[in-house]
Amino acid sequence: MAKSRPVFDGAKLALDGGVPVRTIPWPTYDNGAVCVDDNDCFAASRVIKSKLLYRYDFRDIDDTEAGRLENELAKFFNVKYSLAVSSGTTALSLSMMACGIGVGDEVLCSSFGFPASPSSIILTGAKPVLVEVDENLHMDIDDVKKKINPLTKAILMIHMRGQAGDIEQVVQIAEENGIPLIEDAVPVLGLKIGDKHLGTFGIVGAFSTQSDKSMNTGEGGFILTDDREIFERAIVLCGAYEGRLERHCKGWKSTINQYALPLYNFRMDEIRAAVARTQLKKVPGRLNVMKENYARACSIIEASPQLRIREPVWVILFYFRLMATMLTRRSGSPTHSTLRVSSADPSPI
């Protein structure tokens, strides 16, 4: 006979001495592992068998895995340019460096994020200035306005835990102040507002393909932009040395002085690029599963008078670690959110 599972009745949280819903420990599998299949194995071994593990060899860029991945990413996200890189952190730093951010500059950064985000600002030599979040853990618009000063050279908006903040307002503030908006779109890979992907609202969007993310290549990342000059600068800074920039310039002549830029090796290799290509195909399916899980988790949590779910600025936003689907703007409702452990204790979890 099947064992009956304890049901969460909403009366008392386990934290407060209630009956735990789980009687066995949470499984310790790695998130990404469940999405690695024979296609990924085939892709990785295809590259190893070819013995061409490095993206900038004798081949035309469109014959390399990294080049093909970049074409496929640009198509998937509906942007002009994409560049594959070594991690989400390097994607973020590179985005800012390509915008000219460096020593002496300040970059506003959401305070609800992952340490990699402010760290990526430090890597450029600039100073991260943390912006408060509102009660829904979204970037606080008033605090953004308050903290902008003549040293502010960019805004780094983090779409933390799969929820987009008020991107329209932040785009407007960035435009009014003539500074670039960079999106840390790591936790929202594949998520859209209307028909526009998050990570394509700012001047550059940065993504990770580390194993915890919606694409799993172990480590890795990419940037997206429609700005050709920023793209060209990013290519060089990323490590396209001795004229390799030209390989990326399809049908146009580069206008930047590539030899005036430093070269950092933030490049992606061919094995990971090949795996990223198969992983990209799985993104829509993974997002659907996350959406179902989120709906299920919410339906249970909503029953509790003690728990409250973080309210999104954009509705039909599904988050349960890394969650996404199509979004539309939430109309006129106040944003009250945050999953709290109890109504008496305002600390978000």
Ligand X SMILES: Cc1ncc(COP(=O)(O)O)c(C=O)c1O
Q: Give the binding site for ligand X (CB under 6 A).
A: 87-89, 113-114, 116-117, 158, 160, 184, 186-187, 208, 210, 212, 221
Q: Indicate the residue whose CB is closest to ligand X.
A: 88
| Residues 182 and 155 sit within 8 Å (Cβ to Cβ) | yes
- Shortest CB 260 distance to ligand X, Å: 27
- Shortest CB 92 distance to ligand X, Å: 6
Nearest to 157 by CA among 172, 287, 24: 172
Any idea what the Cα angle at residue 58 is, between residues 56 and 59, rounded to 5°? 85
3 state SS of 158:
strand
- Residue 8 or 222: the one with the smaller Cβ distance to ligand X is 222
- Residue 61 or 116: the one with the smaller Cβ distance to ligand X is 116
- Shortest CB 334 distance to ligand X, Å: 26
Cβ-based neighbours of 131, under 8 Å, separated by 6 or more: 108, 109, 110, 111, 139, 140, 143, 144, 147
Rounded Cα gap, residues 345 and 342, in angstroms: 5
- Shortest CB 42 distance to ligand X, Å: 24
The length of the chain is 349
- Residue 187 or 205: the one with the smaller Cβ distance to ligand X is 187
- Shortest CB 98 distance to ligand X, Å: 17
- Residue 127 or 321: the one with the smaller Cβ distance to ligand X is 321
- Shortest CB 310 distance to ligand X, Å: 16
- Shortest CB 87 distance to ligand X, Å: 4
- Shortest CB 212 distance to ligand X, Å: 6
Q: Which two tokens stand for residue 73?
A: 């990413």
- Shortest CB 221 distance to ligand X, Å: 5
| Residues 143 and 132 sit within 8 Å (Cβ to Cβ) | yes
- Residue 321 or 330: the one with the smaller Cβ distance to ligand X is 321
Cβ-based neighbours of 76, under 8 Å, separated by 6 or more: 280, 283
Beta strand 152-158 pairing with 106-110: parallel
- Residue 282 or 321: the one with the smaller Cβ distance to ligand X is 321
- Residue 107 or 307: the one with the smaller Cβ distance to ligand X is 107
Residue 287: CB atoms within 10 Å? 22
How many Å is the Cα radius of gyration of the chain? Answer: 21
- Residue 179 or 188: the one with the smaller Cβ distance to ligand X is 188
- Residue 177 or 197: the one with the smaller Cβ distance to ligand X is 197
- Shortest CB 85 distance to ligand X, Å: 9
- Residue 160 or 235: the one with the smaller Cβ distance to ligand X is 160
Question: E strands of 213-339, at which residues?
Answer: 221-225, 314-315, 326-329
> Burial, 54: exposed, middle or buried (Cβ in 10 Å; 0-12, 13-18, 19+)?
exposed
Beta strand 204-208 pairing with 221-225: antiparallel
Q: Which two tokens stand for residue 156?
A: 């780094």
Nearest to 136 by CA among 311, 346, 306, 307: 311
